[in-house]
Structure 1
Amino acid sequence: MMALLFSLILAICTGPGFSESSSRLRLVGGRHHCEGRVEVEQEGLWGTICDDGWDIKDVAVVCRELGCGAAKGVPYGNLYKPPAAEEQKVLFQDVNCIGMEDALSQCDKSEDVFNCLHQEDAGASCEILESLRLIDGPGRCKGRVEVKHQDQWGTVCMSERGLPAAKVMCRQLGCGRATLTQRCCKKNTQGQGPIWLSQLSCSGQEKSLVDCPSGLWGENNCTHDEDMWVECEDPFDLRLVGGDNRCSGRLEVLHNGVWGSVCDDDWGEKQDQVVCKQLGCGESLSPSAKVRKSFGPGVGRIWLDDVRCSGKEESLEQCRHRFWGYHNCNHKEDVGVVCSE
């Protein structure tokens, strides 16, 4: 009798479909398995989560449950293609995690979903745990290729199919497109440890380097004269132009190798704080609208619109925004920022 009572209480408390034992989680449509639209399996069918109340704490739990690294951002789920199928249900709304839970099933949420369509699907962006890196270059997106195997970093031997492999690496690292691949380096910057991979034969479509055919780990006839060097575009560089110094001016972001401006829709002090922090320019000085417009209009692309930050992000990349290049603005609405140097 007591066992039956306990089972009834457990069923009432856990509710259907989102208990720890019956649900699975995945991210769909991203550049890798640690980014995309959040989907949960319920009774053998995959459904989405409404982004009402969805924030970086909820993303942190998703990243932890999937074995990914730290939470990077809270993107809109409908940016990831292909979109959720019409027959997929929006399963949960108002998910509210503390951020320390081990699984999304442990977070408060509502299963009574109303007025929430797939245009409001939640997304998540997490870091990939470090297994690939580019080092000794100018920034994290350029350098000698190293991979981690048996808890030790080693180099990769340059192969004939270097460019497709470079495309995969740049994608895995969350950098932009591959711009250069070549043999590395001067003697003083060559690798010193093991040469882990050789005979890479990527198609360029793989999500991770481990998905590419290669020789056996550690078995090769290469030397460090053949270490692989790769350069990718840094996907989210910022600058302020038109001001008296590098810490004031019209905000521009680099995307696909092209600088473009940012629309001031929904722009405010929290977004200023993130920009100043990312540029190492101190605090925002909260300039007036007149000062913001004094840097003049930009030309060319308007890359970002409807940027929404909490103010705690380390990079503008972690803030929510429309898909790259989508906006309803003109250059009279370009954002201007002034920071204390």
Structure 2
Amino acid sequence: MALLFSLILAICTGPGSLGSLSRVRLVGGDHRCKGRVEVLQGSEWGTVCDDGWDMNDVAVVCRELGCGAAKKTTSGTLFGPVAPKDQKVLIQMVGCSGMEESLSQCEGEDVFNCLHNEDAGAECELPESVRLAGGPTRCQGRVEVKFQGDWSSVCKAGWRFAAAKVVCRHLGCGRAILTQKSCNKATQGQGAIWLRKPLCSGQEVSLEDCPSEVWEHNCTHNEDVWVECEDPFKLRLADGNNGCEGRLEVLHKGEWGTVCDDNWRQEADQVVCRQLGCGAPRSLPVPKRFGRGVGRIWLDEVSCSGKEQSLEQCSHRLWGYHNCDHREDVAVVCEEK
């Protein structure tokens, strides 16, 4: 009877315009272009049901947010903290062509049978507006910002550690651990020097969100800003016979922790083996072969296509959010090169 009522309600309601929506945002991801989809209707933020949710819808969300190309559609439950029980699921059966400028121009329905375990998620490319150049990894280097298509370095004299925190967050790196002048000539820039001073609180999602002021300076490239963030995806395989087999552990906030095997597939093994410079993955071992980890479980619900160059490019729940114990620690065996 309940199913019949739902079908009748769906037929009576039918698809309509989502013109009542005024804003969209992505919540819980490691940067502003990735997360659980939430929409503003009136004065209320609510989630979107994943019934009918596809890459056309993600493309519109990415465009509306000023992000890069749509990368994937994911479950919103991967991004924590989870939506509170009293938050509404506002729309379902979103039907975008992919060409709309905003989600409000797409068709959709009011929700009649969706719960938060069906929240929609989205991942877009993060537009390249800031980078760390000249360093050993993408999370260490000289700060450069992009303006009108050109990259400019930033002067240390107008820089604060709060801005370094924002850069690390924007890039999806770990916490900021150092900001200083570029150490030597090999790490200094050669082009323009940014003429605006960012006034960040340290809580902003990206450097673009920080207020700034025009700043007349007399800096040289000897004063270029250098920032170091934690690399959020430093990996190791522990308690194996070599560096290409063992219990998977990742470094976060200076502490090694394990990865839960929920949703773990052979494609993720391929990414780990590639990132560690090992050969192809072998058949999945019994986790007890390498023992159980201790301490933190850092990642859960990791999902890879197998083409990623690093585990950081795979979707996963927010750091530290899981429903696992160490009996579920991931183990990986790769061929030695």
TMscore range, shorter length? 0.7 to 0.9
In structure 2, relative to structure 1, the CA distance for the partners of 1:242 and 1:283 (3 Å cut) is same
Q: Which moved more, 1:314-323 or 1:240-249?
A: 314-323
Contact 2:17 2:108 in 1 (8 A): no
In structure 2, relative to structure 1, the CA distance for the partners of 1:71 and 1:281 (3 Å cut) is farther
Q: Who is 1:276 aligned against? A: 273
Taking every aligned residue pair, what percent have the same amino acid on both sides? 59
Contact 1:61 1:101 in 2 (8 A): yes
Question: Which of 158, 162, 165 matches 2:163?
Answer: 165
Aligned AA for 2:65? L
Q: Who is 1:63 aligned against? A: 62
Q: Who is 2:124 aligned against? A: 126
Contact 2:24 2:103 in 1 (8 A): no
TM-score after normalising by structure 1: 0.78
Q: Give me the whole-angstrom Cα distance separating, in 1, the residues matched to 2:48 and 2:202.
A: 31
In structure 2, relative to structure 1, the CA distance for the partners of 1:45 and 1:165 (3 Å cut) is closer
Q: Who is 1:221 aligned against? A: 218
Q: Secondary structure at the match of 1:196?
A: coil
- State the shift of 1:179 in Å: 0.2
Q: Who is 1:307 aligned against? A: 302
Q: Give me the whole-angstrom Cα distance separating, in 2, the residues matched to 1:242 and 1:96.
A: 49
Question: Can you list the C-alpha shifts for 1:234-267, whole angstroms capped at 9, x where unaligned?
Answer: 1223222222333322111222221111122343
Contact 2:49 2:120 in 1 (8 A): yes
Q: Secondary structure at the match of 1:276?
A: helix
Q: Give me the whole-angstrom Cα distance separating, in 1, the residues matched to 2:148 and 2:301.
A: 44
Question: Can you list the C-alpha shifts for 1:97-138, whole angstroms capped at 9, x where unaligned?
Answer: 8xx923486999873745422343222233321111101111
Aligned AA for 1:92? Q
CA RMSD of the aligned region, Å?
Answer: 3.6
**Structure 1 unpaired stretches of 5+:** 1-11
Q: Give me the whole-angstrom Cα distance separating, in 2, the residues matched to 1:222 and 1:213.
A: 21
In structure 2, relative to structure 1, the CA distance for the partners of 1:229 and 1:322 (3 Å cut) is closer
In structure 2, relative to structure 1, the CA distance for the partners of 1:277 and 1:62 (3 Å cut) is farther
1:298 aligns with 2:293: yes
**Structure 2 unpaired stretches of 5+:** 1-11
1:325 aligns with 2:324: no
Contact 1:76 1:122 in 2 (8 A): yes
Contact 2:17 2:105 in 1 (8 A): no
1:180 aligns with 2:178: yes
Q: Who is 1:335 aligned against? A: 330
Question: Which of 247, 258, 267 matches 2:264?
Answer: 267
Q: Give me the whole-angstrom Cα distance separating, in 1, the residues matched to 2:31 and 2:240.
A: 38
Write the mapping of 1:1-341 to structure 2, written as runs, cut at 5 A.
Answer: 15-18=15-18, 23=21, 25-30=23-28, 33-40=32-39, 46-51=45-50, 59-71=58-70, 74=74, 76-77=76-77, 79-80=79-80, 83=83, 86=86, 88-93=88-93, 101-103=98-100, 111=109, 113=111, 115-159=113-157, 162-197=160-195, 199-216=197-214, 219-289=216-286, 292-340=287-335, 341=337
Question: Can you list the C-alpha shifts for 1:261-296, whole angstroms capped at 9, x where unaligned?
Answer: 11223433233233334444343222342xx43222
- State the shift of 1:57 in Å: 7.1
Q: Give me the whole-angstrom Cα distance separating, in 1, the residues matched to 2:59 and 2:200.
A: 31
Q: Give me the whole-angstrom Cα distance separating, in 2, the residues matched to 1:109 and 1:186.
A: 56
- State the shift of 1:170 in Å: 0.9
Q: Secondary structure at the match of 2:294?
A: coil
- State the shift of 1:300 in Å: 1.7
Q: Give me the whole-angstrom Cα distance separating, in 2, the residues matched to 1:203 and 1:288.
A: 47
Q: Who is 2:7 aligned against? A: none
Aligned AA for 2:49? C
Aligned AA for 2:256? W
Query: For this pair of structures, how many residues does the alignment match?
Result: 322
Q: Which moved more, 1:249-258 or 1:112-121?
A: 112-121
Q: Give me the whole-angstrom Cα distance separating, in 1, the residues matched to 2:106 and 2:276.
A: 36
- State the shift of 1:186 in Å: 0.9
Q: Give me the whole-angstrom Cα distance separating, in 2, the residues matched to 1:45 and 1:273.
A: 42
